[in-house]
């Protein structure tokens, strides 16, 4: 049981390039999330998904797109990378108990992305 | 939306002393309050959580207290050890059917041997 796996772990891009970050979970979780973490800013939600085929905007969605074609995978795309998107990106997933109490989110190891 | 604030931003304690981190939240409907620990270069990991129907929860040297009236909750670490040095994040979640969390900006805890 690997939990939440993020690919790649590191990447350097040039301004204007595109790329996709992959998040995979093997816990059969319904909910998945993409965060970015910048120094002094905590974890900010980019997009999230409450189930296969669904996506929703979070706190800082501009410049990013996501897709959830399979329940176990959540992809984050940067169509035209900008230096302001240099960050550490974390994916998380959680079990669905709706209606019911919230469940903990489990995080991947992160992707360190630098945009020059 | 929910706004979560953490104080202080940095906390230094002598090994063996206690550390307390306080968080405030704005949405009175929030009912789930987890705490995450993040070591340098690692993923955030859940260390304890509390739900709004409980005022206090303990797990060995870690405890969390919740004051719903004042909309604040606190993490207490007793008998601190060097391995407790990390960044601690509090978060709040509400009954909105998406398990979404709003995170504070984090507290750097430094345990001095």
pLDDT (tens digit per residue) in B4-21? 999 778 999 999 999 999
At residue A1, the pLDDT reads: 67
Which is more confident, B11 or B97? Answer: B11
Cβ atoms of residues B76 and B63 within 8 Å: yes
pLDDT digits (tens, 9 = 90+) for A28-67: 999 999 999 998 888 999 999 999 999 999 999 999 999 9
Q: At CA A78, angle to CA A76 and CA A83, rounded to 5?
A: 125
Which candidate from B1, B98, B106 shows the least CB-CB separation from A50?
A: B98
- Beta-carbon contacts of residue A56 (< 8 Å; ≥ 6 apart): A47, A48, A49, A50, B98
In this prediction, residues B12-35 reach a mean pLDDT of 95
The first and second tokens of residue A42, run together, are: 């905590």
Can you read off the two tokens belonging to residue B2? 């929910």
Contacts (Cβ under 8 Å, ≥6 apart) of B60: none
In chain A, what percentage of residues exceed pLDDT 90? Answer: 86
The residue written with tokens 């709003």 in the block is: B102
Average pLDDT over residues B71-76: 96
How sure is the predictor about B54, in pLDDT bands with cuts at 50, 70 and 90?
Answer: confident
Phi and psi angles of residue B50, each rounded to the nearest 5 degrees, phi first = -140, 145
- State mean pLDDT over A80-86: 96
Answer yes or no: is pLDDT of A98 > 70. Answer: no
Cβ–Cβ below 8 Å for B31 and A102: yes
Kindly tell me if the per-residue pLDDT of B81 is higher than 90.
yes
pLDDT in tens, A10-37: 999 999 999 999 999 999 999 999 999 9
Distance CA B111, CA B89 (A): 17
**What's the start-to-end Cα distance of chain B, in Å?**
40
Residue B76 touches partner A, C-beta closer than 8 Å:
no
Q: What pLDDT is stored for residue A103 in this prediction?
A: 84
Span B85-98, mean pLDDT? Answer: 91
DSSP track, B34-60: EEEEE-TTS--EEEEEEETT-SEEEET
Q: Which of A3, A42, A100 to mutate to test the interface with B (most CBs of B within 10 A)?
A: A42
**pLDDT for A113 beyond 90:** yes
The contacts found for A51-56 with CB under 8 angstroms, 24 or more apart, are: A51/A96, A56/B98
Looking at residue A54, its pLDDT comes to 94
Of A58, A98, A103, the CB nearest to B97: A98
If pLDDT is split at 50, 70 and 90, which confidence band does B109 have? Answer: very high
Residues of B in contact with A44 (CB under 8 A): 103
């Amino acid at each position: 049981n690997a939990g939440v796996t993020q690919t790649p772990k590191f990447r350097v891009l040039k301004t204007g390039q595109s790329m996709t970050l992959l998040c995979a979970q093997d816990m059969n979780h319904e909910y998945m999330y993409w965060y970015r973490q910048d120094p002094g800013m905590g974890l900010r939600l980019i997009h999230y998904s409450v189930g296969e085929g669904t996506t929703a905007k979070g706190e800082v969605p501009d410049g990013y797109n996501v897709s959830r074609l399979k329940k176990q995978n959540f992809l984050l795309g940067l169509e035209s990378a900008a230096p302001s998107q240099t960050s550490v990106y974390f994916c998380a997933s959680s079990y669905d108990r709706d209606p019911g109490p919230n469940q903990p989110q489990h995080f991947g190891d992160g992707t360190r992305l630098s945009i020059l | 939306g929910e706004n979560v604030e953490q104080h202080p931003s940095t906390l230094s304690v002598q090994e063996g002393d206690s550390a307390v981190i306080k968080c405030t939240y704005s949405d009175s409907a929030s009912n789930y309050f987890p705490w995450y620990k993040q070591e340098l270069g690692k993923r955030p990991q859940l260390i304890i959580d509390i739900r709004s129907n409980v005022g206090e929860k303990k797990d060995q040297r870690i405890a969390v207290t919740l004051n719903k009236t004042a909309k604040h909750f606190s993490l207490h670490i007793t008998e601190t050890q060097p391995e407790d040095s990390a960044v601690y994040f509090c978060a709040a979640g509400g009954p909105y059917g998406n398990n979404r969390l709003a995170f504070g900006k984090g507290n750097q805890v430094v345990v001095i041997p």
